Structure 1
Amino acid sequence: MFCNGGNKTGHFGGKSKIHEIDANTEKEFKMPGSCKVEDGHLIIYISHILLPKTYAEGNDYNNWANVPQPNVPLPNVPRPMYRRPVYREPNVPRAQCTASPMYRTPNVPPKLKINNESIMYSGILSKQNREKFSHDGYIYVMDKPSADGEKIFWRCDTRRTTACAGRIHTTADEERRFLKMITEHSCSGLGDPARVGAQKVMSVIRQRGASTMEKPAQIRAAAVQNLPLAIMGQMPSTSASRKQVQRQRRKENNALASPPTRAEIVFTEQYMNREFNGHQERFLLADSGGEERILIFGSEASAGWSNQMEHIFMDGTFSVCPSLFHQLFIILSKRGGFVFPVLFCLLPDKTEQTYTRLFTLIKEIWPMFNPTSISCDFERAIHNSIRTCFPESSIFCCFFHLRQNLRKHISQSNLLNLYNNDPDFALKCKMIISLAFVPENDVINALNVLENELDDRFEPLISWFVSTYIGRIRCNGTRANPIFSIPLWNVHTRTILNIHRTNNYSEACNRKIKRALGMSHPSLWLFLHSLKNFLALIDTDIELHVAGHEPPRKRAKYIECDERILRICNNYDFDTILDFLRGISHNFNID
């Protein structure tokens, strides 16, 4: 093979061998000059190249590209048929050779790392999810296909703003091979590879935002890892990236339009089932239908241990509920040392009738579901429905919600500023609800002692607590029934027996769902998509329990706090009731 000082042995400088080819398979690439095949060797005369037919048809240009090339132009072959040629100097490794500026540079997209995975980005999508094409530092949008369907016509993506007439043709197959330049660009004399790279990264950010529920900041942080500085300088701001992710998510989840009313909701298979352990299982467990619609979602596999759900926790949340419904009502169950969410219920309101319908639906899908104890909020409608549907279950109110109620009434009584700035006043406020740790038979006597200790500033709080949780004294000397009787909210026995006295599991579950959604009042479809992902995490936790793993440990400060409260309750003596209440109050906050 002869080329620029080569020899007849098929080598360039005697170092790299050119594979022998059959003269019958030759195909010409037209350039100024000439070449020919002779004796099974390709002879190149500087300015014209004759390549094997197999190479010319795009079967394997990589082998040809790996051969050390002379300092001459290569043909303008369609991308991505060859790698970028380099100057090859004697005794210098190829990796250390400098790229030749005289060759056309193929559009090699950057390699980035997202979640420790190296990904090659091969294309760009517009904000409307339409395909773009990049070549020589320019970006093109699709114009139209050719009449025969074998080509795609592209135009410069800045045409509307710069009136650029730049146009190219590519093949219509998936590879989108560049064919030829039709019209040169007028928007810029040179391409901008940094802009190309930035748009590719933003395409990935938008796609990842649509397919995951990661926070926009997390997606951006992962995408910009190891980016060249040139591309970093072309990236949109953090705020702009966040808005693009949010818009993309709205588009993805508005593919199914949100119905105007609950009665018009129609579920497709995508939202009625979910993938679990390699097969499809029911995700929508119950649907009451009608305008006052109740929807119950969860894992169908949980029905297998519904008869073991003895200790239940219930709570409603409003901020993450889809706009068509009033609240998301979550039911959790203790299993071993774990507490798992098992049912997610969308309710139209919070009336007693609705709760009764909900519990009736649950009994229909899980006939063996009959809990021994149920912990819930201070809500009479729930209590009445539980007594109707589960008459044998014991109802316990959560001490966490008692603390929340105290804070709400401190604020309503215009005492919040005093609470925040007077530590003695704050401690005595907490002593009021510390009565929950006093044995049931001593609660009223302890309240009388505490009332004598408190001044007039506490009158609004004492009045609220007595009417709601103790019962006012009538004119005839008898005590009226409170809204919530003492056994409902008293936690002395539960503390001694190390039984859960709070419903923090429900609160923690609410927070996790809210973090997963990243927004308030999402569309129904976005909510269900996030709920499926959340259920996958629960499946993992359940399997850890099955595998014998220990439940997550409490933080050390909470363990120590529980130990102190238990020690105080074990040493209870009514003669020192004020010390008892003050000691309990030191171990919790109401915020």
Structure 2
Amino acid sequence: MAETYLSKRNKEKLTVGGYAFRFDKRSSNDPELLFWRCDQKLCKARIHTRNWEVVHEIGDHQHAPNLPKVEADKALNRMKSQAHTTRDATRQILADVHDGLSQATVLSLPSKFSMTRSIQRQRQRNNLPRLPATLAELGQIPEDMKVLTDGTTFLANDSGRGADRILLFATPDGLRLLFEQKDWFADGTFKVAPGYFSQVYSIHVLYMGSTIPVVFALLPSKSRATYDRLLQALVTLRPGIAPSTLMTDFERAAVSAFDETFPGLQLTGCHFHLAQNVWRHIQDHGLATVYRDEEEFAKLMRMLPALAYLPPADVENAFETVFDPTSAFWDARAQPIIDYFEDTYIGRPRRRGPRHQPMFAVQMWNLHERTLADNAKSNNSVEGFHNAFQGLLGAHSPSLWRLIAALKKEQILVQADITRLLAGQAPAPKRRKYRDLQVRAKRIDHCAIQCWPAWLDRHNGRSGLHLHVLDHFSAFSHPGDFNVPARPLFMFSRQ
């Protein structure tokens, strides 16, 4: 059977045995009979087709077949179609065009410059504006980028032209869920942010046992003012939103903005980020090798995030006991990391009276009550979403148009997930390896927490108790215990 494709001028062409034919005319006596002539000038070869089957050949070709040229024309046709129907970056389209082509076919393509210009012309015909050099120069967002394929509003708020522009994407149903569901999770990622923006920030809600993304915001910075503007936009879009709980990472600007915008909000810190922050400071001070090679030093460092499992009232006393130079675990090389943790999460001591307020209060990062209530300890579901979305996007730092197109696709998947939940379908099960790790982690957590009163009875003073409990937790927090060596301070739960 013959194969058809479009020419550079969008004329129908036919390929048979490495020869290309142009459409000539239709038979006046038989509408299904089509006449074709060879694509090469001066060549007298002709064919007749019916239902794309060759039924008659006239004359011989005066040249050899050129299959690479035919394949190159098909590739160019696909290139134009991709430029017309997607927001993929020009470089991505060029890569897709060349994928799988033979060397002979590649040599039959126009120059890279010519193909780039062709893609740009195609997009200009689609009225898709070229992206400027800076965010301040970015004009109107194309209308088809503001809505989903069914016409649902997706660009909920655009702060307007300027270097501090914010683009907030959410559907009306997403904003409704944001209003109805009181448990929120929030985090940002820079990996998929276009060059104009600092991060893509997402807000998720706990809905029917699943974490659902409902807001995607392109933010120009991580400043307090930027987060204030984002949250005020949400309050304006859906008056009355008032989350009860929020889990986020330890980013001071975001935490402060949420705390002030929503009085009474219970802020909880992601335990993975707490441990990760300690690990970063170990690396920053050149102690990563020491951590990996010396178990006693590693145990001392793991005891810092392990403080989260003690009752809040015992955290300060435990810190003073365990991380004192007279402690059996003490290592002077750890002093800079201990100082960082004290300043950020405990509070520096005064000469008299209570300690200074830390950057993040103990209640925000403590896990004692969360463990007993079997509540989430980390933002792993949000981290997992960011990783999955990056896979859908297929690129770091994509163009703005490509990112928005990917967000629209992601929103379709989100809506499908909600539909399945409403129909009573269970979420996709986790892989058995991770289910087993989660069960084991919960068992360890509950055992240690519930043993607290018994441990208390067996110790005359809390000093020995603190050492015993933190030693217990740090023994289970080794990275190999959870098969996650890239996250060496990740504590128990993978919730």
Calculate the TM-score normalised by the size of structure 2.
0.75
Partners of 1:247 and 1:422 in 2: CA distance: 58
Partners of 1:251 and 1:511 in 2: CA distance: 34
Matched, 1:297 2:178: no
Matched, 1:280 2:151: yes
Matched, 1:138 2:19: yes
Structure 2: 5+ residue runs without aligned partners?
Answer: 24-34, 108-113, 457-464, 489-495
Partners of 1:125 and 1:557 in 2: CA distance: 57
Alignment deviations for residues 170-224 of structure 1 (CA, whole Å, 9 cap, x no partner): 99xxx99999999965xxx43145764686478558856975799x99x98xx98
Q: 1:556 Cα deviation (Å)?
A: 2.1
Partners of 1:246 and 1:542 in 2: CA distance: 40
Partners of 2:118 and 2:185 in 1: CA distance: 36
Partners of 1:411 and 1:250 in 2: CA distance: 45
Contact 1:155–1:168 at 8 Å: present in 2 too?
Answer: no
Partners of 1:461 and 1:129 in 2: CA distance: 65
Q: 1:475 Cα deviation (Å)?
A: 3.2
The count of aligned residue pairs is 436
Partners of 1:141 and 1:410 in 2: CA distance: 68
Question: Which of 286, 301, 307 matches 1:414?
Answer: 286
Superposition map of 1:252-263 within 5 A: 255-259=128-132, 260-262=134-136
Question: Which of 536, 539, 562 matches 2:412?
Answer: 536
Matched, 1:322 2:214: no
Question: Which of 125, 140, 144 matches 1:266?
Answer: 140
Calculate the TM-score normalised by the size of structure 1.
0.64
* Residue 427 of structure 2: aligned partner: 551
* Residue 565 of structure 1: aligned partner: 445
Cα 1:566–1:191, aligned 2, differ >3 Å: closer, same or farther?
same
Cα 1:191–1:263, aligned 2, differ >3 Å: closer, same or farther?
closer
Q: 1:298 Cα deviation (Å)?
A: 1.8
* Residue 505 of structure 1: aligned partner: 381
Q: 1:471 Cα deviation (Å)?
A: 1.1
Greater RCO, 1 or 2 (C-alpha within 8 Å, sep 6+): 2
Contact 1:141–1:155 at 8 Å: present in 2 too?
Answer: yes
Q: 1:567 Cα deviation (Å)?
A: 2.3
Cα 1:392–1:474, aligned 2, differ >3 Å: closer, same or farther?
closer
Cα 1:131–1:406, aligned 2, differ >3 Å: closer, same or farther?
farther
Cα 1:325–1:213, aligned 2, differ >3 Å: closer, same or farther?
closer
* Residue 456 of structure 1: aligned partner: 332
Q: 1:153 Cα deviation (Å)?
A: 9.2
Superposition map of 1:468-547 within 5 A: 468-476=344-352, 478-547=354-423
Partners of 2:10 and 2:384 in 1: CA distance: 36
Cα 1:506–1:210, aligned 2, differ >3 Å: closer, same or farther?
farther
Letter in 1 for 2:156: L
Cα 1:307–1:411, aligned 2, differ >3 Å: closer, same or farther?
same
Q: 1:136 Cα deviation (Å)?
A: 5.1
Partners of 1:332 and 1:140 in 2: CA distance: 55
Richer in helix (by share)? 2
Letter in 2 for 1:288: S
Cα 1:194–1:327, aligned 2, differ >3 Å: closer, same or farther?
closer
Cα 1:464–1:301, aligned 2, differ >3 Å: closer, same or farther?
same
Partners of 1:406 and 1:245 in 2: CA distance: 49
Counterpart secondary structure, 1:123: strand
Cα 1:566–1:352, aligned 2, differ >3 Å: closer, same or farther?
same
Q: 1:353 Cα deviation (Å)?
A: 1.5
Contact 2:21–2:37 at 8 Å: present in 1 too?
Answer: no
Q: 1:248 Cα deviation (Å)?
A: 9.4
Counterpart secondary structure, 2:152: strand
Superposition map of 1:46-445 within 5 A: 108-109=2-3, 122-123=4-5, 134=15, 137-139=18-20, 156=40, 185=62, 189-193=63-67, 196=70, 200=74, 207=81, 255-259=128-132, 260-262=134-136, 264-275=138-149, 279-291=150-162, 292-445=164-317
Partners of 2:18 and 2:261 in 1: CA distance: 69
Cα 1:182–1:427, aligned 2, differ >3 Å: closer, same or farther?
farther
* Residue 474 of structure 2: aligned partner: 582
Partners of 1:413 and 1:266 in 2: CA distance: 46
Counterpart secondary structure, 1:375: strand
Partners of 1:316 and 1:245 in 2: CA distance: 36
Letter in 1 for 2:265: S
Alignment deviations for residues 121-154 of structure 1 (CA, whole Å, 9 cap, x no partner): x21566x989765355234799xxxxxxxx9998
* Residue 147 of structure 1: aligned partner: none
Partners of 2:300 and 2:170 in 1: CA distance: 44
Alignment deviations for residues 386-406 of structure 1 (CA, whole Å, 9 cap, x no partner): 122111211111111112211
Does 259-268 or 499-508 show the bigger shift?
A: 259-268
* Identical aligned residues as a percent: 27
Alignment deviations for residues 564-587 of structure 1 (CA, whole Å, 9 cap, x no partner): 223222223352324333244245
Counterpart secondary structure, 1:274: coil
Bigger CA radius of gyration:
1
Cα 1:169–1:533, aligned 2, differ >3 Å: closer, same or farther?
farther
Q: 1:246 Cα deviation (Å)?
A: 11
Cα 1:464–1:200, aligned 2, differ >3 Å: closer, same or farther?
same
Does 483-492 or 548-557 show the bigger shift?
A: 548-557
* Residue 99 of structure 1: aligned partner: none
Partners of 1:141 and 1:420 in 2: CA distance: 69
Letter in 2 for 1:318: F
Counterpart secondary structure, 1:280: coil
Partners of 1:199 and 1:354 in 2: CA distance: 48
Alignment deviations for residues 42-64 of structure 1 (CA, whole Å, 9 cap, x no partner): xxxxxxxxxxxxxxxxxxxxxxx
Alignment deviations for residues 351-394 of structure 1 (CA, whole Å, 9 cap, x no partner): 11121111111011112321100111111211221122111211
Letter in 1 for 2:147: N
Contact 2:246–2:265 at 8 Å: present in 1 too?
Answer: yes
Contact 2:87–2:405 at 8 Å: present in 1 too?
Answer: no
Counterpart secondary structure, 2:280: helix
Contact 1:134–1:196 at 8 Å: present in 2 too?
Answer: yes
Letter in 1 for 2:270: C
